[in-house]
Amino acid sequence: MNMTVNSSLRPVRSRSHTLTQVTARELRSAIEKGIYGPGTKLPPELQLVQMLGVSRTIVRDALRFLVDEGLIDRRPGQGTFVRDNLIRQNLNLNFGTTEMIKSAGMVPGTPHLQIKDSFATPEVAKALKIQVGTPIVTIERVRSADGKPVVYSLDYLAKSLVGDRDLTVYWRDHDVSLYQLLQGELGLVIEYGVTRLLPIRASRRVAEMLQVSSDSPLLYMVQTDYAPHDVPVLYTCEYHLPDAFDFIIVRRGPRVNDSA
């Protein structure tokens, strides 16, 4: 292992998160930065212990987190490897598309962006718990991975949360995550999201945006994101190319006394 790679992992310390969480974050960051690229074997556990300054138990738990996220694969008798370039969406984690694409070692892009003021339809009003006709902001985007369109999305949030801000400036020079924008510019911390995943056929508009044939099969994800105290702040409709994503759900248990 060369010194450049070793020095990229820093000893972890934190007062606000557990050592396991911070260790997982440090390893995740190294993978997202390409220090450990797709297919790369990670250093052995004992070496990670020395590099990160934590116990072997902490390292094992952190690696287990990354397995659950779909970033790494532990192969008995061989070691731990970064998974190959498939965009992995762990439905147990509220993970933005930008981060998903980066974690796959690809370059995220936004070839199409349109932000407009509109009014809440019954569907949007129900999701955001506002009155039908309430002023909202609609963000229409196409997300790409290495130049290929992979997600077409429509995001809705109340106009009162945005005010007179021109949101286009935040994507003009940098391809930032919408979650980053919400927290950094609007002060909205997303605590959790509730998602439905459905099979769907591409309409003419969606097919045009994703550069596929009409009626092509897609994965349709509908999500409402909540701020603290169960306040809905963002409603999202996303159309995913099914061959670009590997959707992961981690199902725990059952415990000994659980019934099926």
What's the chain look like in SS3?
A: CCHHHHHHCCCCCCCCCCHHHHHHHHHHHHHHCCCCCCCCECCCHHHHHHHHCCCHHHHHHHHHHHHHHCCEEEECCCEEEECCCCEEEECCCCCCHHHHHHHCCCCEEEEEEEEEEEECCHHHHHHHCCCCCCEEEEEEEEEEECCEEEEEEEEEEEHHHHCCCCCCHHHHCCCCCHHHHHHHHHCCCCCEEEEEEEEEECCHHHHHHHCCCCCCEEEEEEEEEEEHHHEEEEEEEEEECHHHEEEECCCCCCCCCCCC
Inform me whether the pLDDT recorded for 218 exceeds 90.
yes
Please provide residue 139's backbone torsions phi and psi, each rounded to the nearest 5 degrees. Answer: -110, 115
- Read off the pLDDT of residues 109-121 as tens digits, 9 standing for 90 and up: 889 999 999 999 9
Count how many Cα atoms sit within 13 Å of the Cα of residue 161 in the half-sphere of its side chain. 23
Cα angle for residues 71, 74, 77 (degrees, 5° grid): 155
- Read off the pLDDT of residues 139-188 as tens digits, 9 standing for 90 and up: 999 999 889 999 999 999 999 999 988 888 877 766 677 888 888 888 88
- pLDDT band for position 192 (cuts 50, 70, 90): confident
Task: State residue 191's pLDDT score.
Answer: 85
Tokens standing for 179?
A: 């979650």
Contacts of 37 (CB under 8 A, 6+ apart): 82, 105
User: Percentage of the chain surpassing pLDDT 70?
Assistant: 80
Distance in angstroms (rounded) separating the CA atoms of residues 125 and 132:
5
- Identity of the residue numbered 160: S
Pairing of strands 72-75, 79-82: antiparallel
Task: State residue 59's pLDDT score.
Answer: 94
Torsional class of 128: left (φ above 0), alpha (ψ -120 to 50), beta (otherwise):
alpha
Other C-beta atoms closer than 10 Å to the C-beta of 51 total 22
Q: Which domains does the chain have, with CATH numbers?
A: 3-82 (1.10.10.10), 87-248 (3.40.1410.10)
Inform me whether the pLDDT recorded for 5 exceeds 50.
no
